[in-house]
Chains A and B, each alone.
Chain A
Amino acid sequence: MQPAAETSALGARVEIKNLTKRFGSVVAVDDTSLSIEPGQFVTFLGPSGSGKTTTLNAISGFADVDEGEILLDGASILSLPPHKRNIGVVFQHYALFPHMTAADNVAFPLRRRRLPKAQVREKVRGALELVHLADYGERLPRELSGGQQQRVALARALVFEPRLLLMDEPLAALDRRLRDAMQIEIKRIQEQLGITVIYVTHDQDEAMTMSDVVAIFNEGRIAQVGSSDDLYERPADLFVARFMGESNRLPVTTSGDGEVAFASNGASLRLRARGAAEAGRGGMLVVRPENVRVNRERDPDLDSSLTGRIGRVRYFGAYCVTEVLLDDDLIVRSRQPVEVALEAVEGERAHVQWDSRHALFLRSADGDQLSGSASSFLDASDGGAEPAAHA
């Protein structure tokens, strides 16, 4: 869209300072601060009720703030009503006006701003072209597919050239394939316009593939802010480790600098792990399934090694996940190439190994329910570990 080219790299700087929002006695957002650079794609990731949507609503103006400040390019927006904030919002259920055509939907914000008719027509055409729906302007929302409706919603939120776009789980109602296509589409548009985007989701894949920065929300606070690989490789705490990707977690106690003790079958096994400092701290050794190897023969190149019996092997097409039952009924999962994994025989003894560079020690939070159990795979939502099933 022609006007869009002119507005490129005009994203807003957003500063959230000590934001607090309570609903009765429940603290939905608890003293949260975050600084967002112009043109950044920032994802708020977290389970439901973690405060991400409330924070978004505070920015869009639908949640009154109890304490704190929100600045857009250095100016407070808290005293402005939603319709004067000039922030684009894309809603989960599109929120297209069912009695208006796609073009009228897109024209709505322009008409509210009393733009001349010719200009409205021009901009609507540009916005619909941007989302590849130039020929669909005369359709009513119900005559469009879910993906097309979402595109119209996106065009409508962008057509008045806001410098900040908020997206609240915009793809949650779409099927997997369409979601992947829309992710690429949204990212392309964001880069083309240079607009700042705040994107709320509870889907970690979505967060990882699209974001410059991910803020992980947990219980009203931001647990960690960083790039996707930051959060994946260097999670600040067990919650982040559990929420970003899959992880194996072994209960350990630190025994020295870079060293932890893992109680296995009555014996105490020493393993190396990043993040272990002073001795005597309880926590978890975290290692990603893709860094774990399961072999009949011990691989001398990998310095951390446990033994166990091979359990289920799950086939995912591109890879397999092999479960290994340790002697004390903990499960460690390994993501391996299909041809390697399918050689494994259930019940056979095997070595479970990884390079200690990939092992990270994280302290247990007080009252953490995880202690005493081990790994968990594909459990980003429940965060629980499962006991091994006995044969």
Chain B
Amino acid sequence: MSAGKGRIALNAFCGLVMVLLIAPALVAVPMSFNGRATFEFPPRSWSTRWYENLLSDVTWRDAIVHSLTVAAIVTVVATAIGTAAAYGLARGRFPGRAAVMALATAPMIIPIVLVAIALYAIFLEARMVGTLQAFVIAHSLIALPFVIVTVTAGLRSLDDGLERAARTLGAGPAVAFFTVTLPLLKRSLAIAAALAFAASLDDVVVAMFISSPTFQTLPVKIYSSLTDTVDPTVAVASTLTLSLAALGMAVAFLVMTKKGAAGDAASR
């Protein structure tokens, strides 16, 4: 086989894999424009009435607002705590550092349903089920490992001599961190924040347990409306979620491939 044919075959294979990965998610997009109250695919008639429905239906609107509110707060909380933890783990010298690192990233590995049950038990006891606080705490827990792993990687690629240099030039430890280390970590921080946001927005398992009829996030609303009714508004919600995720990915991709002054330690 010639090199050219090999290349075509490779491209075709990659294309096929991409279609397999993406196509199922894209099915929701035409479905959201269905003219009738069915989940048929492809739709036989078209309309935007389900979009109107999503915006006018207060339960859908609340779910979206809840999801975005929780995700926004979680992004700030998890990024701040996770960055502090990563800094301690990457720069600190204390016994049991490896164990703490493993523990901090454990929520990534432990089956999420176990985490959900544990949190549910705690929040039930504390009478916090269905509250914003409960969601923020739970989702921060889920998002934290993503932040820690990302920021730790960023810190490792950063010359710790820079902070030392700052210290010799008259900057205390905190000033050195905020004037030198943090600005150089902004790319890692942006990625960590995007991941934290996505982790919160994405969660359905924990949210199922800790939501209440008055406080639901979007994935929970999608799930519950699927089980009760045949309502293409679900497809609209899915399409919106998909768009949001795609937007997030695009931003993350742009940040990661951006070279130059804004780059992290790589430009050292």
Contacts and interface: CB of A to CB of B under 8 A. Distances in A.
A62 B164 CA distance: 8
A61 B106 CA distance: 37
Interface in B170-187: 170-173, 175-176, 179-180, 183-184
A108 B261 contact: no
Interface stretch (A71-79, A95-103, A337-345, A348-356): A95-103
A112 interface: yes
Interface string A127-161: 00000000000001010000000000000110010
B169 interface: yes
Interface in B155-201: 159, 161-162, 164-173, 175-176, 179-180, 183-184
Nearest to B165: A95
A109 interface: yes
A183 to B, nearest CB: 22
Contacts of A93: 159, 161
Contacts of A83: 167-173, 175-176
Contacts of A99: 183-184, 261
A98 B158 CA distance: 10
Contacts, number: 71
A82 B167 contact: yes
B169 A109 contact: yes
Contacts of A160: 169-170
Contact of B171 (A86, A112, A140): A112
A88 B165 CA distance: 9
B161 A91 contact: yes
Contacts of B164: 62, 82, 89, 91, 95
A81 interface: yes
A142 B168 contact: no
A390 interface: no
A157 B164 CA distance: 12
A176 interface: no
A28 to B, nearest CB: 16
Nearest to A86: B170
A376 interface: no
Interface string B237-265: 00000000000000000000000010001
A156 B169 CA distance: 8
A250 interface: no
B168 A87 contact: yes
A113 interface: yes
A111 to B, nearest CB: 9
A82 B161 CA distance: 13
B164 to A, nearest CB: 6
A340 B78 CA distance: 76
A53 interface: no
Given A99-B183, A112-B175, A89 B168 contact: yes
A109 B169 CA distance: 5
Nearest to A101: B261
Nearest to B160: A95
B184 A95 contact: no
Nearest to B263: A98
Contact of A81 (B162, B172, B265): B172
Contacts of B267: 98, 142
Contacts of A156: 169
Contacts of A95: 159, 161-162, 164-165
Contact of A112 (B161, B170, B184): B170
Interface in B127-167: 159, 161-162, 164-167
B7 interface: no
Contacts of B166: 97, 108
A372 B121 CA distance: 79
A375 interface: no
Contacts of B176: 83
A363 B268 CA distance: 49
Contact of B170 (A62, A96, A109): A109
A82 B167 CA distance: 6
B247 to A, nearest CB: 27
A97 B180 contact: yes
A108 B176 CA distance: 10
A91 B165 contact: yes
Contacts of B162: 95, 97-98
Considering the complex of A and B, which 5 residue pairs feature the smallest CB-CB distances, nearest first?
A: A95-B165, A112-B170, A109-B169, A89-B168, A82-B167
Interface of B: 159, 161-162, 164-173, 175-176, 179-180, 183-184, 261, 265, 267-268
18 contacts: A61-B167, A61-B168, A62-B167, A82-B167, A83-B167, A83-B168, A91-B161, A91-B164, A93-B161, A97-B184, A98-B184, A98-B268, A108-B169, A108-B179, A109-B169, A112-B169, A112-B175, A160-B170
Given A83-B172, A91-B165, A93-B159, 19 more contacts: A62-B167, A82-B164, A82-B167, A83-B176, A84-B170, A85-B168, A86-B170, A87-B168, A88-B168, A95-B165, A97-B166, A98-B162, A99-B184, A108-B169, A112-B175, A113-B170, A140-B261, A156-B169, A157-B169
